[in-house]
């Protein structure tokens, strides 16, 4: 969707969110949403599974009506859950995610609403984000932590035929994950599904489509030193970026 204007805000100084409590993740996420609203964003995507799991519903129901009732805040878990029913054949699905996302059981609940016949097995992977953040995704040490969690997953339920990568960092590990999952298992990375869901949302909500600017620009904000953000972002994007530092307090 290159024709839109994007403002990305990374709370890198306080990341990762996956190990924080519900209350702290909600507080941090609300601060970020407020900042994006002040910057003029009418539509905010919580592009973090932990924030989507721990903060989205509260912000939508409690804060948005008083903060900016015409704006919208969406997450990444629901779009992922919606696609699963058309992918799994065995109706046994696995979730790799941060400890916070797994403890929230948000994937379990969202999938159960849509597909009550699907059995969900969640495995927390606390070491996977640090592997990516420290540029060790392709190192030999990553194989141990990845294969170990995959073994745990299929020991818990050998009938799983579809695995969701429930963290935005995990697709960086996709080559190694595919190496260790059993043959025939589909690994679902969220990016394409979330983007398609957003396209569909804007088609159905023409009022929001008209409010969003269409300049094809990208602006990046971070709560960390920009030099550190720029280096990490290159791991994901494969091109140089230059972020601005902001405070959310």
What is the set of active-site residues?
48, 167
User: What is the spatial distance between Cα 98 and Cα 118, in angstroms, rounded to a whole number?
Assistant: 21
Q: Any idea which residue has 């620009």 for tokens?
A: 217
Number of helices (H) and strands (E), helices first, in the chain? 13, 9
User: What is the spatial distance between Cα 178 and Cα 192, in angstroms, rounded to a whole number?
Assistant: 18
- For CA atoms 9, 139, 191, 49, the dihedral sign is negative
Does residue 55 contact residue 29 with C-beta atoms inside 8 Å?
A: yes
Cα 134 to chain centroid, rounded: 19
- For β-strands 119-124 and 92-97, DSSP reports them as parallel
């Amino acid at each position: 969707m290159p024709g839109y204007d994007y403002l990305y805000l990374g709370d890198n100084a306080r990341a990762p969110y996956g190990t924080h409590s519900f209350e702290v993740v909600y507080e941090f996420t609300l601060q970020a949403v407020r900042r994006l609203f002040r910057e003029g964003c009418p539509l905010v995507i919580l592009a973090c599974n932990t924030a989507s799991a721990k903060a989205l519903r509260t912000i939508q129901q409690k804060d948005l009506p008083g903060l900016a009732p015409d704006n919208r805040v969406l997450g990444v878990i629901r779009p992922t859950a919606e696609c699963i029913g058309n992918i799994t054949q065995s109706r046994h699905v696995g979730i790799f995610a941060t400890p916070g996302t797994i403890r929230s059981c948000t994937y379990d609940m969202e999938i159960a609403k849509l597909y009550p016949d699907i059995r969900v097995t969640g495995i927390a992977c606390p070491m996977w984000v640090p592997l990516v953040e420290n540029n060790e995704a392709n190192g030999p040490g990553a194989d141990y932590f990845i294969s170990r969690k995959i073994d745990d997953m299929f020991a818990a339920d050998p009938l799983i035929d579809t695995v969701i990568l429930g963290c935005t960092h995990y697709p960086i590990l996709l080559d190694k994950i595919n190496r260790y999952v059993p043959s025939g298992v589909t690994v679902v990375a969220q990016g394409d599904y979330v983007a398609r869901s957003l396209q569909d949302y804007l088609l159905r909500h023409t009022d929001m489509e008209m409010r969003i600017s269409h300049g094809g620009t990208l602006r990046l904000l971070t709560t960390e030193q920009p030099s550190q953000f720029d280096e990490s972002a290159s791991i994901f994007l494969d091109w140089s970026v230059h972020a601005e530092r902001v405070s959310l307090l």
